[in-house]
Structure 1
Amino acid sequence: MSTPAPLALPDADIAEAWVKERTATTLTHVRELADQLRTSPPSQALDVLKAWDQLTLELGSLGGLAGLLANVHPLEAVRTACEDTEVEVDRLRTELTQDQALYQVFASLPAEQTEALDPLAARLLEKTLQDFTRAGVDRDDATRARLTEINERLTALGLEFSRVTRDDVRITTATRDQLDGMPADWLESHPAGDDGLVEITTDYPDALPVRMFAKDPAVRRAVTIAGLERGWPHNDAVLEEMFALRHELAGLLGYPDWPTFDAEVKMIGDGAAIPEFIDKIAGAAEERMTRDLEVLLERYRTDVPDAVAVSAADALYYEELVRQERYDVDSQVVRTYFDFAKVHQGLLDVTGRIFGLRYERVTDVVTWHEDVSVFDVYRASDAVETAERLGRIFLDLHPREGKYKHAAQFDLATGVVSTSSTTGGQLPEGVLVCNFSRGLMEHDHVVTLFHEFGHLVHHVLGGQGEWARFSGVATEWDFVEAPSQMLEEWAWDADVLRTFATDESGEPIPADLVARMRAAEDFGKGYHARQQMFYAAISYWFHKERPEDLTERLEELQAAYSPYPYLEGTHFFANFGHLGGYSSAYYTYMWSLVIAKDLFSAFDKDDLFDPEVAGRYRDLVLARGGEKDAADLVADFLGRPYSFDAYAAWLAS
């Protein structure tokens, strides 16, 4: 079978009309497929599943396309049209999974046929029936109608929360004198205006270096507060309504609260296990946090003698001083080794070696912005002239107005080898959306780039199967970060970094500097873990309790978990984007990190490119997508169930 062609995107001047036409055509076709399945289902269970998988592939691909362009397209009209598409997709998805006639097509399949299904098809049937039940297909008409209303409103609220957070770019100003300590290249790219003031936006390439290097505490504080205040006050009401509706939805489906409903389909299994996990990590990190905070506070008191705690506005700056003075690591020196263009190419070279892939740049393709680079992905072992394309990736890595402000991987197209006798499959296409400097990068941003690229590789490698339902990053949502977190390890290895991290003269980063960077990074990992548990606690307890005063509860949770005291008058939750997507499950990042440390324990630290280990990991974990439960995928690779031991040893070291 020939490789399916990638999606052809439109030029900007016709993009809005193209989105609207594609939306109308796809939704109409999906409804036709659903009607055929409802009224004239195939006689064989396997064919029923294929028809449903084709339907969900088309609907999901439209939703993925709209979700991407709503966050990256430079034209507001196109972004708005895509948000409308997302609403329509979610509305139809709810309608279909609440359709009792469709449900009966699956529920009434003959036992002799379902028992004869192969394991993957049987898994698909199980997941499909679960999807129907969790949508409320077995509820009465009035309840289903209310569930539909709630889902539609939640979609609208999620889009509103994301849009407000994305578009609320705040600006702080400072004189050149107030920016003493800033890197020369940052100052060069931020000239003062006619009023003598330099503008500092809340975008990462602007704000992060200021918080790390600016000597003036007033400037650091102003930039920190500006970042914390994005989305406020508008998103306070948005979140309160969102939490209330999620709770109501869970109750209508027979669950005591949203976290219980949400956790049912995750590795953790039970909502009540989330605060237990949060407290387990918080307890494990306590001793290390206390020890490192004492070091940080001691340094802080040389400038703020009466301080009883390090301010969140000053933490990054004083961490940097500790790294310089105790570990001989100067981030302004480190960043000279991480020119964006070299890092970009190094990322492709390194991941190509790990996973046995080859990336070929594509130039004759329309994208949504000139910054976007495009690559087709092939197996490195295949002959160039006969190689079949595995997928296509898009890298959109610099900030601009109207663009998603964080770092994430978006699906452009879900990959399947075959969906029916007529379609011939669909090429997996993914997009990396980040906001990095065009010049020198902080090493933290290099790590972030490797992390997010891990999702992209997972999407492509996992998009080679038969079923759309299990394609790409289709595992439990509290596992999806583990492969990406593990890939971060390559961005910390001296031998790996020396292949692309070179200074202006071409000298590679010294191994002893990387060793000191690692030691400096280990400093603070206890209180960084506690900060993550603060975020996880917000995510869980805001959904569990639905507090009347979100700011007051924020202060309480910060006092209980965070290493830093609350900054008076700030409202971080108003731009905490994961409250939209991860909802009550931000614990996911730490849960995944526990597994990532265990996965990495199988690699030889002296040979991170060992083809046998990397190949097994690629084939047994990434390439399987959601074809097995995540715990089973990990056990297949490790040869045993995953454990907490590797993480505990790392945290204590």
Structure 2
Amino acid sequence: MRFNTLFFYSITLSIFIACTNQTADQNIEMSAENPFNVDINEPIAYAEVNAKHLEEYVRFTMDHAVKELNALKGSNDINFDNTFGKYDAILNKISKAKRNASNLFLVSPDSLLRAKGNQSDLSLDSLMKDIRSDKELFDKLQSFATSENGKALQGLKKRLMDAVINNFKRSGVALSALDLEHYKTLSTEIKQLSSQFTSNMNAVNEVLVISEEQANGLPDNFKYQYKRENGDYEIPVNNSTRDPVSENAESSAVRKAYLSKFLNRGADGNLLILDDLIGKRHQLGQLMGYDSYAAYELKKNMAKTPDQVWKFLNALAEASKDKALKEVAELKMVRNSEQNTPNDDSPINPWDIAYFQNLLLKTKYGVDTEKMRDYFPMESCLNGMFDLYQRLLGLTFKKIENASVWADGVELYEVYEGDTLRGRFYLDLFPRPHKETWFYGLRFSKGHQTNKGYDIPNALLLGNFTKPTTKLPSLLSFSELSILFHEFGHIMTSMAYQGPYFTLADSEEDFGEATSQIFENWLEDYTVLSAFAKHYETGAILPKTLYDNKQRAKNALSGLSLQRGLRFAFYDLSIYDRYNPVKPLNTDQLWQDIDANMGVIDRYMEGTHRQASWIHINTYPVYTYSYIWSRVYAQDMFTEFEKNGLLDTETGMRYRKLILANGTQRDIHKALEAFLGRPSNNMAYIESLGLD
């Protein structure tokens, strides 16, 4: 049924026009009671949305897109507004429907709505690919681009025109008819495999059951949440429980059992899917004229080529190796002291690494991550984060009471600049069955100018933090607090864009994390932190001694931390740049090969398959390096706040308007230079790691 639907809606097939003349003459509308049938900037009543509503909304969107694009192709008197301007507006509508479908697939508790969200996402994705590979449409747009009026364009109109033309070329429009069909087939198969990978991962409901004795070392507040009537503990295996167990359980056997379950999530179905994904993406990259899929993906990024990324990663691996090796030696000393084995030089077990890192922080630096957690209740952290972002960026957040949302506990906020509504964001912070298990700042829609006015952006912060109970609020570790600040940075990037064109709202992919990573820096300042870090029971401010201890330990494990990030980046780049169809990769062996090549510490745990639940190599291939690449720019931009004051609104407003609001409206290097007053460099990043 899905393929019939895609065939019916594909605008590249002339049979669509021939067989639907009667439908094309009708004015297809959504039913009045459909929650998606809203006026510009009216919020969607998500609590009322069901699978039929989504199906009708998506069909309506696809029908109207096809009708409008056929009109665009049939137009003889062309200008910018009825070619590139119109095309951008049509894509905005399709994207809005697609993001609603994909986000509901990730968060809805309704199984029928999740299934329809997935199906609709696939259909809209196929339509987008058909549109961007439609030769007739491309020729119409190109005819204006090559006209005297097109050649005379400047500013945002020219940037939009160039971006659209480039997107068409990346989508196979220049291929032969046979190769174009192959491109479409591969693209559809890749999207289907990716969706199944996500479904398999989110369907996992793994738990670890342990006794009271086995729970030794786990924080009392953590144990309380998962204690059963018989006295045992049933701990869900997910991102919110990984650190508390891995860092604190005294039993190595418990740590091993937990990590084995955590690293094997989704393995039953996803290992074969990943093999298929890697192979098909390699075929697509070669079909598009590149040596690898990585080369195809990176062409649009700041890095441009795999060679540039390999050089970047290898240089950092070499620069941090000596420090990391010293840190490994120190961890062995901590292990040997605890186990009374003074001369043991054997490798540290992969499942013990986090435990001994935490023990080092406790014994040498006095850093107790679980004790600090008591000072970071979610509500207080949210309020503190909101206060900071509002002050820096000149915005105001207003919570909408009794908002219509898809699940209990989800909150909705409006964002104002003065009296002007700039956007809305949702907070969906805690895990539940079948919900996406990672942490994301996602968009429902981008900012876009319409003939009815400015269509504001809508975004979602999707989290999986520890849930509150009747006894305890949600208490964050410092690491989770950093994640919260980071993901909310993505939300603010969405809210900041005020440009007229949908296509220019996103930055280059490998710069996209920088605008979130920069905000993690404010958590390193005691004045900022102590304004909201208060004990959940007593209200006492985070003791300065705890903060000072943490600051002393800031770079205690920075070498190993960077090496771990590089390990993931090497893996991601390897599977998509060094794939050999004659001798396909063993995706388990690759972990071991990377560990051996890096020569610092073996993190691979025999019999586990971390790649089966790693969302990035599925949904965001050739992206992991960008977390490190972006941080170079994040730390450099932060120097402006260090110079002018961390709470300086003027600097914050400049940052919002020059960087956050930019998207790709201006060359990112020029935008950076305008904000910094100089070309960007990596000095602040190197210093932040303690490698200078």
1:5 matched to 2:38: no
The Cα shift of 1:450 comes to 0.1
Deviates more, 1:477-486 or 1:622-631: 622-631
What whole-Å deviation, never above 9, does each CA across 1:523-577 have from its counterpart, x for those lacking one?
1111110111110111011112333321112211122236334211111111111
- The one-letter amino acid of 1:556's match is D
Equivalent residues of 1:59, 1:89 under 8 A apart: yes
1:107 matched to 2:142: yes
Equivalent residues of 1:263, 1:271 under 8 A apart: yes
What SS does the aligned partner of 1:290 have? Answer: helix
Rounded to whole Å, the distance in 2 between the matches of 1:348 and 1:286 is 38
What SS does the aligned partner of 1:337 have? Answer: coil
- The one-letter amino acid of 1:433's match is L
Residue 466 of structure 1: aligned partner: 500
- The one-letter amino acid of 2:591's match is L
The Cα shift of 1:42 comes to 5.0
Change (3 A) 1:505 1:42: farther
The Cα shift of 1:47 comes to 3.4
Equivalent residues of 1:430, 1:456 under 8 A apart: yes
Change (3 A) 1:64 1:510: same
Rounded to whole Å, the distance in 1 between the matches of 2:384 and 2:548 is 20
Residue 22 of structure 2: aligned partner: none
1:436 matched to 2:474: no
RMSD: 1.6
Equivalent residues of 2:378, 2:476 under 8 A apart: yes
1:644 matched to 2:644: no
Rounded to whole Å, the distance in 2 between the matches of 1:64 and 1:492 is 34
What SS does the aligned partner of 1:435 have? Answer: coil
The Cα shift of 1:314 comes to 1.4
Rounded to whole Å, the distance in 2 between the matches of 1:164 and 1:521 is 37
Deviates more, 1:594-603 or 1:43-52: 43-52
- Report the identity percentage: 25
Equivalent residues of 2:306, 2:577 under 8 A apart: no
Rounded to whole Å, the distance in 2 between the matches of 1:361 and 1:429 is 14
Match for residue 201 of structure 2 among 157, 165, 189: 165
Residue 391 of structure 1: aligned partner: 423
Equivalent residues of 1:157, 1:242 under 8 A apart: yes
What whole-Å deviation, never above 9, does each CA across 1:272-323 have from its counterpart, x for those lacking one?
2222111011112112212222211210122353352222311222122111
Residue 574 of structure 1: aligned partner: 612
Q: Which runs of 5+ in 2 are unaligned?
A: 1-38, 469-473
Rounded to whole Å, the distance in 2 between the matches of 1:630 and 1:495 is 32
The Cα shift of 1:117 comes to 2.0
The Cα shift of 1:10 comes to 3.6
Could you tell me the TM-score, scaled by structure 2's length? 0.89
Residue 574 of structure 2: aligned partner: 541
Residue 518 of structure 1: aligned partner: 551
Residue 666 of structure 2: aligned partner: 628
The Cα shift of 1:116 comes to 2.8
Residue 139 of structure 1: aligned partner: 175
The Cα shift of 1:115 comes to 2.9
Q: Which runs of 5+ in 1 are unaligned?
A: none
Change (3 A) 1:10 1:441: closer
Rounded to whole Å, the distance in 2 between the matches of 1:502 and 1:277 is 41
Rounded to whole Å, the distance in 1 between the matches of 2:596 and 2:228 is 39
Matches within 5 A, 1:92-103: 92-103=127-138
- The one-letter amino acid of 2:500's match is E
Residue 16 of structure 1: aligned partner: 51
- The one-letter amino acid of 1:122's match is K
What whole-Å deviation, never above 9, does each CA across 1:421-446 have from its counterpart, x for those lacking one?
3x423220000000112222111101
Matches within 5 A, 1:228-377: 228-304=263-339, 305=341, 306-377=344-415
Match for residue 623 of structure 2 among 585, 588, 595: 585
Rounded to whole Å, the distance in 2 between the matches of 1:42 and 1:528 is 59
Equivalent residues of 2:575, 2:585 under 8 A apart: no
Deviates more, 1:41-50 or 1:75-84: 41-50
The Cα shift of 1:606 comes to 8.2
Could you tell me the TM-score, scaled by structure 1's length? 0.95
What SS does the aligned partner of 1:409 have? Answer: strand
The Cα shift of 1:41 comes to 5.5
Deviates more, 1:572-581 or 1:503-512: 503-512
1:37 matched to 2:62: no
Match for residue 437 of structure 2 among 401, 405, 413: 405
- The one-letter amino acid of 1:64's match is R
Equivalent residues of 2:644, 2:651 under 8 A apart: no
- The one-letter amino acid of 1:408's match is Y
What whole-Å deviation, never above 9, does each CA across 1:140-179 have from its counterpart, x for those lacking one?
1111111110110011011111111122232111001111
What SS does the aligned partner of 1:329 have? Answer: coil
- The one-letter amino acid of 2:465's match is F
- The one-letter amino acid of 1:243's match is I
1:90 matched to 2:125: yes
Match for residue 239 of structure 2 among 199, 204, 207: 204
Rounded to whole Å, the distance in 2 between the matches of 1:440 and 1:281 is 34
Match for residue 522 of structure 2 among 477, 484, 490: 490
Match for residue 552 of structure 1 among 589, 601, 622: 589
Equivalent residues of 1:603, 1:613 under 8 A apart: yes
Change (3 A) 1:172 1:573: same
The Cα shift of 1:398 comes to 0.7
What whole-Å deviation, never above 9, does each CA across 1:404-435 have from its counterpart, x for those lacking one?
1110011112212x23x3x4232200000001
Change (3 A) 1:313 1:445: same
The Cα shift of 1:521 comes to 3.1
